[in-house]
Amino acid sequence: MTPGTLPRAMDDRERQLEIEGAQRRMVGVLAILAALFYLVGQALVEILVTAKQPSTGLLQGLTPALEHGAKAAAVDPRAADLRFLDKHGVVDIIGWTLAGCALIAMRWPLRYLRDAAVTRGAPGGAPTRVFTSYVTPLVGVVAIAYAIAQVLGAHDFVHGTVKDTSAYNASAGGAVRDSLFYLYVLGNLALALTFVLVALRAMRIGLVTRALGIIGIVGGVIFVIPIVPLPVIQALFLAGVGLMLFEAAGMVLPPAWAAGEAIPWVTQPRQRAGQRDRRAGASRPERGRREATQLAPVPTPPPSPSPSASKKRKRRRR
């Protein structure tokens, strides 16, 4: 290490701590808003649109051939899906707009945690920097655009004169909608990886508690494997990060933030166990001294001669 390296590193760390302190409140607000908007937006889509949307199965698709012997129906059996989407298009767009804005807002808390972890010794690299900077805004914009394109296609189909299979495929698919769909799927995979990496590194460095870090990792996995229909876990992680940055609702800011270096988070049971061990270690020498004092024999003084014995010795001398 050259003589100027250590002061330069210290200056960089102090500068980073100043930046973190200046941005902390703004990032906390964005994290809480992202959690709220993402949960509300997805709830609107899932409860008011997706849960009530009719589904066209294989038998409904084969109805024209089975009943009328026709190769294709004049009205595609899946037209009910587009009619429903056209009727609930406003709610669908509002829900996906809220979710898309939340995805865009996620960029700041994820990038904030990533930069803080790198400053404290976590591995950086271009992938995590690109993911935290560009993936979440891209996914948010693509989600909004795809929702609008779907609703517009459904509206064109419902109000058009031709409603056969070719018209359905043109309204529900097409190059633009297919491209947006695949971009959204790939972006969702990258977003899942971003959540896992950011939460894992922040937990190891000590920027978040172990419980909050595990919630973030599970939230990233749920982006790919949607065990829960609503993004409750992702919203819980984002809200936890925001409340932690504000030190509100019982959330504390781990010491690694103020120290500017990695200090892995110690859970409360481990802290109490360490305190008990330290107290026991401090009291053990004192207890050993007390036991040694109790076990040592007390020296007895020599017996004093009686007066009669001294008189007898005097007579003998005479």
pLDDT digits (tens, 9 = 90+) for 184-194: 999 999 999 99
pTM of the complete model beyond 0.75: yes
Residue 285: band (very low, low, confident or very high) from pLDDT cuts 50, 70, 90: low
Residue 312: band (very low, low, confident or very high) from pLDDT cuts 50, 70, 90: very low
Which burial class, exposed, middle or buried, applies to 80 when counting CB atoms under 10 A from its CB (0-12, 13-18, 19+)?
Answer: middle
Instruction: Decide if 146 contacts 188 (C-beta within 8 A).
Output: no
Per the structure, the count of domains in the chain is 1
| pLDDT of 314 above 50 | no
The Cα-based distances of 3 to 6, 12, 14, 120, 189 in angstroms read 7, 15, 18, 21, 44
Residue 1: predicted pLDDT? 47
pLDDT digits (tens, 9 = 90+) for 117-142: 998 888 877 888 888 999 999 999 99
Q: Is residue 175 part of a domain?
A: yes
Residue 268: predicted pLDDT? 47
Residue 173: predicted pLDDT? 86
Mean pLDDT value of segment 61-78: 58
Q: What whole-number distance in Å separates Cα of residue 216 and Cα of residue 238?
A: 8
| pLDDT of 56 above 80 | no
Q: Is residue 138 part of a domain?
A: yes
| pLDDT of 298 above 70 | no
Q: Is residue 70 part of a domain?
A: no
Q: 242 or 294: which carries more pLDDT confidence?
A: 242
Question: How wide is the angle at C-alpha 167 spanned by C-alphas 162 and 170, nearest 5°?
Answer: 150
Residue 8 identity: R
pLDDT digits (tens, 9 = 90+) for 25-43: 999 999 999 999 999 999 9
Q: Is residue 121 part of a domain?
A: yes
Instruction: Decide if 98 contacts 39 (C-beta within 8 A).
Output: no
pLDDT digits (tens, 9 = 90+) for 182-220: 999 999 999 999 999 999 999 999 999 999 999 999 999
Residue 282: predicted pLDDT? 53
Q: What whole-number distance in Å separates Cα of residue 75 and Cα of residue 95?
A: 30
Mean pLDDT value of segment 65-80: 64
Mean pLDDT across the chain: 81
Q: What whole-number distance in Å separates Cα of residue 106 and Cα of residue 297?
A: 74
Residue 250: band (very low, low, confident or very high) from pLDDT cuts 50, 70, 90: confident
Q: What whole-number distance in Å separates Cα of residue 89 and Cα of residue 85?
A: 5
Domain extent at residue 194: 31-54+76-259
Q: Which neighbouring-strand residues pair with 163?
A: 75
Q: Is residue 128 part of a domain?
A: yes
Residue 17: band (very low, low, confident or very high) from pLDDT cuts 50, 70, 90: confident
Q: What whole-number distance in Å separates Cα of residue 78 and Cα of residue 57?
A: 9
Residue 164: band (very low, low, confident or very high) from pLDDT cuts 50, 70, 90: confident
Instruction: Decide if 103 contacts 109 (C-beta within 8 A).
Output: no
Residue 152: band (very low, low, confident or very high) from pLDDT cuts 50, 70, 90: very high
What is the DSSP secondary structure assignment for residue 159, as one 8-state letter?
A: T
Q: Is residue 265 part of a domain?
A: no
Residue 66: predicted pLDDT? 47
Mean pLDDT value of segment 130-155: 94
| pLDDT of 151 above 90 | yes
Residue 65: band (very low, low, confident or very high) from pLDDT cuts 50, 70, 90: very low
Residue 276: band (very low, low, confident or very high) from pLDDT cuts 50, 70, 90: low
Q: Is residue 299 part of a domain?
A: no
Q: Is residue 281 part of a domain?
A: no
Please count the CA atoms within 13 angstroms of the CA of 79 that sit on its side-chain side.
17
